[in-house]
Structure 1
Amino acid sequence: MNNEPQLPEGASTLIDVVRVVLWVVALLGIGAIGIGVVQLGSDRFSRQQDGVGKGLATIVGGFATVFGAGLAGYILPAGSDDAHDTTAQPVDTPPVDAAPPETIAAPPSEPFDWTPVIWIAAVVAALAVLALAGYLIVRTRHRILDRKAAARTLTADFAAAHAVYNDVADRYAEYLADPYAIFTRPLLDDLKDPRTAAFITAFTDAGALRTDTCPASSERVQTFADASRAALTAWTTADQHARAIGMGVQTEDGKRAVRRIRSALDLALDNSAAAGEREAAMATVARLSDGLMTVPDRIYARAKTAIETTTRKQLTS
């Protein structure tokens, strides 16, 4: 005789159905964990920080679903297979004259064994900790890589802006170093010309933003880059305009005077000429240019320095 409690008719089939449903729920939980991990990765690469919380919530929910389904399946009673095993045994018909069966007391129920549940909870908790640790490691690594990439980009942008500024400075310095540029682009020394004035302002503004080392702020680098490009544009405009205008419309007397000024300037800058001749030539330049054209002070200073150097050499020789 089987003294184990029997399930009501149809209950074992219902339990089997519940077990299948629990398996489906567990699979859905595993799928949720995978979706959460994918969401974390996609949100990280797309820089959408608002989706990080959703991804973590999906992972935690998936773990909770798997754990709940496993626990529910563990505490369910035996299904149809286990229940039918006890009824499949042949039952012996007791003899008619047999003594009435003795009443056997049911064995006391054993306490519920929580060990498997604890193990399952420990495994799920460990997986959750590992997943969180892996996410934090990946997130930290990506942040470090992003910072390095941003620093490289900032340095490259600063170098490009510096190159533009240096290009403008070199072109302007080349003009200032050429004493004969006053005959081809005199307007570049005329601050009354709006294009020349715009270039001087833009070049000064860019120079004020220039630093020897790359700034830590991307805004400062961008501001310097914009100022350098503005200076380049202003220089190009002023230089082309000055070349197009040149000395302007001159009379024949004016043209002859300009030719004499240029010849006198050649003599003043000739290191092989005597100091007295060079001084007289500079005086001629000043006299002929008065009222006709502007000779910048830097040219007089250059000629004076060259004459003094020649004089010292002659005295010491």
Structure 2
Amino acid sequence: MNTATVLAQSPTPSGVGAQPPHSADFETVFSYIMWVGTVLGIMALCAGGMLIARQRFVGRTEGADKAGMMLFGGLVLAVLPAGLRFVFFGTDSDTAAMPEATETATPTPAPTTTPVAVTRPAAPSEPTDWTPLIWIGGVLGALVIAALAAYLIVRTRHRILDRRTAHTVLVDDFAAAKAVYAQVADAYAAYLADPYAIFTRPLLDDLDQPRTAAFIDAFAAAGALNTDTCPASTERVQAFADASRAALTAWKAADTYARAIGMGVQTEDTKRTVRRIRNALGLALDDTAAAGERATAIATVQRLSDGLMTVPERVYDRAKTAIETATRKQLTS
């Protein structure tokens, strides 16, 4: 009587270096802990990066060491979980060993039937749970968005404050430059409005005098940059401030020199002639004098000053305007 060949499969016994079994619950809890560590590490990396970016933006380096420690700690927390997982669980150790076939033969010379291989159905695999990964990805994305929003808010706030501060400084600098320019303009206007200044500072009307010419050029340059409102450009305000200071310096130099020189060295005859010119000019500008007397006085000024001193046209124009006004009053009275 022949017997059939019996095929038996048995799992390979654990040998040297085989991984010890772990419970599924322990592995799940350990996986959650490792994911939390990874998230904390990434958060630390983001915080360190933001701190370095902020320090560079404000131009300070006090927190560089702290930021470096945060980056290093975050890197360790982000990488350490993967290493611990490898140490505790290693690679996939659940692969079953290859089955061994044991054959028992009967003394019969040949089998009468063909052996039938019996295939056992494989155990259904459980679906992968992606919930922890989704939660961690969502939290990580929210943290990245929040960090980016905070960085943009802080950066925008600093830019607004910097612009306000820069505008305030710009307005103050422009006001200071305007004050300097007004000081020069008022001093020069006072000289032009005084008809008797030609007897004390005649060189201020002499454009051949280097100091006077330098002042006229500097004052014109500052006036070209003078505006009613504050310019938006820092360079424009700085140029106006420099020009105003240059005009003030040139005015002081020209005015001081003109006062020191005065009418220059004069003889006694020249001094008497100058006194007569001054008296005649006073009569021409006297509002109580008759129009005819004032016209005669201005003619005397022109005659006596010819070849002796230069009387600016503004003085003659002022006297002529006053004479014409007095004449109209006499005609209408």
Q: TM-score range with shorter-chain normalisation?
A: 0.7 to 0.9
1:178 pairs, out of 194, 208, 212, with: 194
Single out whichever of 297-306 and 275-284 deviates more from structure 2.
Answer: 275-284
- Residue 302 of structure 2 corresponds to residue 289 of structure 1: no
CA contact (8 A) 1:261 1:285 kept: yes
Aligned to 1:131: 147
Aligned to 2:175: 159
Deviation at 1:77, TM superposition (A): 5.0
Aligned to 1:248: 264
The C-alpha deviation readout for 1:175-219, integer Å capped at 9, x for no partner, is: 000001001100000001000011111111111222222222221
What is the root-mean-square deviation of aligned Cα atoms in Å?
Answer: 3.8
Aligned to 2:290: 274
Matched to 2:50, the amino acid is V
Distance 1:217 1:116 in 2: 56
CA contact (8 A) 1:188 1:238 kept: yes
Distance 1:38 1:145 in 2: 20
- Residue 238 of structure 2 corresponds to residue 222 of structure 1: yes
Higher relative contact order (CA 8 A, sep 6+): 2
Distance 1:122 1:72, change over 3 A: farther
2:58 pairs, out of 45, 52, 55, with: 45
Single out whichever of 22-31 and 117-126 deviates more from structure 2.
Answer: 22-31
Deviation at 1:34, TM superposition (A): 3.7
CA contact (8 A) 1:267 1:281 kept: yes
CA contact (8 A) 2:291 2:323 kept: yes
Aligned to 1:315: 331
Distance 1:246 1:218 in 2: 42
Distance 1:147 1:121 in 2: 39
Aligned to 1:195: 211
The C-alpha deviation readout for 1:23-60, integer Å capped at 9, x for no partner, is: 99887665544432322222222299xx9xxx8xx87x
**Partner SS state of residue 51, structure 2:** helix
Distance 1:70 1:252 in 2: 109
Q: Structure 1 vs Structure 2: percent identity of aligned residues?
A: 62
CA contact (8 A) 1:71 1:117 kept: no
Aligned to 1:210: 226
Deviation at 1:118, TM superposition (A): 2.1
Distance 2:330 2:58 in 1: 75
**Partner SS state of residue 192, structure 1:** coil
2:254 pairs, out of 219, 228, 238, with: 238
CA contact (8 A) 1:22 1:73 kept: no
Matched pairs, number: 275
Aligned to 2:102: none
Deviation at 1:170, TM superposition (A): 0.9
Aligned to 2:95: none
Normalised by the length of structure 1, the TM-score is 0.74
Single out whichever of 116-125 and 269-278 deviates more from structure 2.
Answer: 116-125
Where structure 2 has 5 or more consecutive residues not aligned to the other structure, the ranges are: 1-13, 28-32, 91-121
CA contact (8 A) 1:23 1:69 kept: no
The C-alpha deviation readout for 1:68-95, integer Å capped at 9, x for no partner, is: 555766787579xxxxxxxxxxxxxxxx
The C-alpha deviation readout for 1:226-258, integer Å capped at 9, x for no partner, is: 111111111111001000101100001111111
Q: Which has the higher helix share?
A: 1
Distance 1:71 1:116, change over 3 A: farther
CA contact (8 A) 1:29 1:63 kept: yes
Single out whichever of 34-43 and 276-285 deviates more from structure 2.
Answer: 34-43
CA contact (8 A) 1:67 1:120 kept: no
Distance 1:66 1:127 in 2: 16
